[in-house]
């Protein structure tokens, strides 16, 4: 390191200038292009679109698909998102994807806007909410799934060629699904906040649906996968429905400022596990950590003095989550790979990394805005330390890892080229409209050793194993498949890091001028 002590004043300015230039060089050399990552993350959602594609579709290798969804049931279920590399539309992960995209825009709207990506972020959310509105055909009916996972997995086809079942499944008064209803209510409530300024009518419509869905889910309680058994093998609701009801109520409170929803979160805090469960993961299934972070923001709100004791208990559990990610709990911490990546599960681990990065970023902001520090097992942690750790996880995703691989497809010089994804792995329908059947897809495309003909730009794949190893293999679906809920939390994070990068660069230039 350059030292500027014990030198004459004559050379002090030159030494400091040299040090500043050295700092800028090192920072720039190691920097990642968060603007590019942000742009590409939003492109991914266009690749996952089902239905009739719009005129401004940018992912040109995709075409219309799923145009008769719901026809057999007499409802219009065209649209929405395929959740991963297959062609089933699963309601629970789709709604969570919309919630996380919306939360990212709520928190980082200005940063996304300055990057020129706000229109694309709003389009990504609206493509999801337009479908969720269609799926909510009456106050106590919500269509939960289109397609059948078992038959879909026997086929390797482009979505444009789909020949598999498009049977649709619903929840209703006799077949409840409080977890699905609660998450969909959360998605619509969060999106209503996003569109409040730019599209007030649409915002009001979303809020109306959110309120009806929450009331339905709360009145007719039960797990959705007990009613829609076809979902159980793919998206089992392990955590049950109580976290989603609390989560939905919290988002409705944020959207309406109606104290009834906050009272629900407070009065059910203990019995529903909101202040009982200390979590070390946040996902499409387990919402407690996200709920606890939202409650932590309310602790700083002077309006909530009468609920302060319960909110502080929520906050205590949020602290546990953050400390477990930072490896500073006295007990249960999130495991890490040798290179430092958070590791929760072998299958699609990156989904837990991206949600953790999002919550850590939000909590870092909470500390900074309130001028507080976090205590983890007697050690004080400031907002900057949390931010640095969150950034380290993002940088690992973008290529700062032992494999020197970006796990965000299309970003950087090296990234997965054999992603487990039907549409990406087969020649584009727009280039070759010849029909490709189920077995033909497996025989001629799935088993190919060559790279996918289409790049699934912006997809965050499942990522490396617990030892930082990754096999870029189409058949290695635990690592090479991507999901919408992997990428969704990163949209706001990329925008925030990009904004902070600009401030850092400006500060460095200012320093260099002295």
**Which residues are known to be catalytic?**
86, 420, 472, 481
Task: Tell me how many degrees the CA angle 282-303-247 measures, rounded to the nearest 5.
Answer: 25
Identify which of 72, 93, 75, 73 has the alpha carbon closest to the alpha carbon of residue 84: 93
Identify which of 252, 249, 277, 242 has the alpha carbon closest to the alpha carbon of residue 265: 249
Retrieve residue 210's tokens. 């959110």
Strand 379-381 relative to strand 342-343, pairing: unpaired
Q: Which helix (H) or strand (E) holds 511?
A: helix 484-512
The radius of gyration computed from the CA coordinates of the chain, to the nearest angstrom, equals 23
Identify which of 175, 166, 164, 190 has the alpha carbon closest to the alpha carbon of residue 89: 166
Check the CA dihedral 7-8-9-15 and report its sign: negative
Q: How far apart are CA 140 and CA 173, in angstroms?
A: 6
Retrieve residue 500's tokens. 């902070």
Beta bridge partners of 211: none
Question: Secondary structure of 86-107 in the HEC alphabet?
Answer: CCCEEHHHHHHHHHHHHHHHHH
Residue positions counted in the chain: 514
* Angle of helix 178-194 versus helix 200-219 axis, rounded to 10: 160
Say how far residue 435 (Cα) sits from the centre of its chain: 34
The per-residue DSSP string of 35-102 comes to HHHHHHHHHHHHHTB-BSPPTT---TT---B-TTTTGGGTS-----B--SSS--EEHHHHHHHHHHHH
């Amino acid at each position: 390191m350059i030292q500027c002590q014990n030198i004459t004043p004559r050379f002090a300015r030159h030494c400091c200038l040299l040090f500043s230039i050295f700092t800028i060089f090192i920072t720039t050399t190691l920097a990642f292009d968060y603007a590019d990552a942000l742009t590409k993350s939003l492109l991914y959602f266009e690749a996952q679109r089902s239905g009739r594609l719009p005129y401004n579709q940018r992912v040109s290798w995709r075409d219309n698909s799923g145009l008769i969804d719901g026809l057999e049931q007499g409802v219009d279920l065209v649209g929405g998102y395929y959740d991963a590399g297959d062609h089933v539309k699963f309601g629970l992960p789709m709604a969570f994807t919309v919630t996380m995209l919306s939360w990212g825009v709520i928190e980082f709207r200005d940063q996304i806007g300055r990057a020129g990506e706000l229109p694309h972020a709003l389009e990504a959310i609206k493509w999801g909410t337009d479908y969720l509105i269609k799926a909510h055909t009456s106050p106590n009916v919500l269509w939960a799934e289109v397609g059948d996972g078992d038959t879909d997995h026997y086929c390797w086809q482009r979505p444009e060629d789909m020949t598999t079942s498009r049977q649709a499944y619903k929840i209703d008064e006799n077949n409840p699904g409080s977890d699905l209803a609660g998450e969909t209510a959360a998605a619509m409530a969060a999106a209503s906040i996003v569109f409040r300024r730019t599209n007030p009518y649409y915002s009001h419509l979303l809020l109306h649906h959110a309120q009806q869905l929450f009331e339905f889910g709360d009145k007719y309680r039960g797990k959705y996968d007990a009613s829609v058994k076809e979902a159980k093998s793919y998206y089992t609701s392990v955590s049950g429905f109580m976290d989603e009801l609390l989560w939905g109520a919290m988002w409705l409170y944020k959207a309406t400022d109606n104290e009834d929803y906050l009272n629900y979160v407070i009065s059910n805090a203990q019995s529903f596990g909101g202040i009982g469960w200390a979590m070390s993961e946040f996902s499409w299934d387990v919402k407690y950590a996200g709920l606890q972070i939202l409650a932590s923001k309310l602790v700083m709100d002077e309006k909530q003095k009468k609920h302060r004791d319960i909110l502080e208990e929520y906050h205590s559990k949020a602290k546990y989550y953050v400390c477990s990610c930072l490896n500073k709990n006295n007990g249960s911490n999130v495991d890490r790979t040798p290179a430092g990546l958070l590791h929760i599960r072998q299958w699609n681990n990156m989904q837990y990394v991206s949600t953790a990065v999002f919550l850590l970023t939000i909590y870092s902001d909470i500390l900074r805005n309130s001028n507080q520090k976090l205590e983890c097992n007697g050690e004080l942690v400031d907002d900057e330390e949390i931010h640095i750790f969150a950034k380290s996880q993002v940088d690992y995703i973008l290529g700062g890892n032992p494999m020197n691989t970006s796990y965000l497809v299309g970003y950087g010089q090296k990234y997965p080229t054999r992603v487990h994804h039907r549409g990406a792995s087969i020649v584009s329908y727009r280039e070759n409209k010849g029909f490709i059947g189920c077995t033909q897809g497996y025989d001629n495309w799935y088993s190919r050793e060559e790279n996918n003909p289409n790049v699934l730009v912006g997809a965050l794949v499942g990522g490396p194993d617990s030892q930082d190893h990754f096999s870029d293999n189409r058949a290695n679906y635990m690592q090479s498949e991507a999901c919408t809920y992997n990428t969704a939390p990163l949209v706001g994070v990329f925008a925030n890091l990009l904004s902070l990068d600009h401030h850092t660069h400006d500060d460095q230039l200012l320093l260099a001028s002295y």
